[in-house]
Amino acid sequence: MSRRSETLLEGETLTKYFGGLPALKDVTFTVAQGEILGLIGPNGAGKSTLLNLLSGVFRPSHGRVLFRGRDVTGLRPHQIAKRGVARVLQTPRSFPSMSVRDNIAIGALFAGRDRAAGRSGRDEPEYLLELTGLLDKRDLPLEGLTLQEKRLLELARALATGPELLLLDEAMSGLNPTEMERAMALIRRIRDELGVAIIWVEHVVKAIMGVAERVLVLNFGQLIATGPPAEVARDQAVIDAYLGRAE
Ligand SMILES: Nc1ncnc2c1ncn2[C@@H]1O[C@H](COP(=O)(O)OP(=O)(O)O)[C@@H](O)[C@H]1O
Ligand SMILES: [Mg+2]
């Protein structure tokens, strides 16, 4: 673990009000380089809001985001993406008539990241096609893909930008158990082979607990627990707020 204990991202007292109501309140946490961090909590707990603050979709009401030690609070989404934070949305938004392979290639182009920052070919389309299991679909237009394949393509597109941090907001929801097993293995591979840190928001708690090294639990906008999965699963506040009634 020590080889990747360096801090990649820090959220400091992150707070977001919508109208008079706090969707997120004083959330302080870190993500280490190459860490898989699970983010769980009931509907409306503030998970998406937190990821939106990290990716620049929303500006925090107060608090700061530091990425690689630099203050990125208030930067626009494309500026944050350029620094190495990629987000994968629940709803695919790729180019329908373009081939799978070209969709991945264009992901890298749009990011505008310095190619020299990429990792020895591992952000190349061929590698990403293999990683996401889309190699034999590479020449198909996007319309020929299933929903799950489209989601995998979104993930490949995000990775094509050569990120250091990947934000997954229920990007794998609605999978059957076999597909979820594959998604878990894929997330491990992304971290192991690319060294990318991941914040994974997902309703299937078992999947999060099986893959994440650390878990953050949000409830009504507040961080109620942080720790290794086994510890968080035994936390009474977490059981009362969420696990007791999950699944
Ligand atoms: N754009 C928005 N405008 C107003 N309220 C919002 C907006 N986005 C989220 N919220 C509110 O913030 C709270 C947290 O929502 P969200 O972050 O989406 O929760 P989660 O992703 O954990 O389900 C909810 O009460 C939600 O209604
Ligand atoms: Mg959400």
**Residue whose pair of structure tokens reads 């952000």 in the numeric block:** 123
Topology of 2-84+164-245 in CATH? Rossmann fold (3.40.50)
Ligand 2 mean position, distance from CA 52 (Å): 10
Q: H helices of 112-235, where?
A: 125-131, 147-159, 177-194, 205-211, 229-234
Ligand 1 within 6 A of CB of 156: no
The answer on pLDDT for 86 being more than 70 is: yes
Mean pLDDT of the chain: 89
Residue 85 C-alpha from the chain's centroid: 9
Q: Say what the pLDDT of residue 175 is.
A: 85
Ligand 1 within 6 A of CB of 43: yes
Q: Say what the pLDDT of residue 119 is.
A: 54
Rounded mean pLDDT of 8-18? 98
For 102, the token pair is 């070209």
Mutate to test the pocket of ligand 1, among 14, 47, 48, 55 (most ligand atoms within 8 A of CB): 48
The answer on pLDDT for 148 being more than 90 is: no
Q: Identify the band that residue 231 occupies on the pLDDT scale cut at 50, 70 and 90.
A: very high
Q: Identify the band that residue 1 occupies on the pLDDT scale cut at 50, 70 and 90.
A: very low
Ligand 1 within 6 A of CB of 46: yes
- Taking ligand 2, which is a single-atom ion, which protein residues have CB atoms under 5 Å away? 47-48
The answer on pLDDT for 110 being more than 70 is: no
Q: Which residue has the higher pLDDT, 143 or 65?
A: 65
Q: Say what the pLDDT of residue 156 is.
A: 93
Q: What are phi and psi of 42, to 5 degrees?
A: -60, 165
Strand order through the sheet with 70-71: 21-32, 7-18, 62-67, 70-71
Q: Which residue has the higher pLDDT, 124 or 192?
A: 192
Give the residue extent of every domain in the chain: 2-84+164-245, 95-155
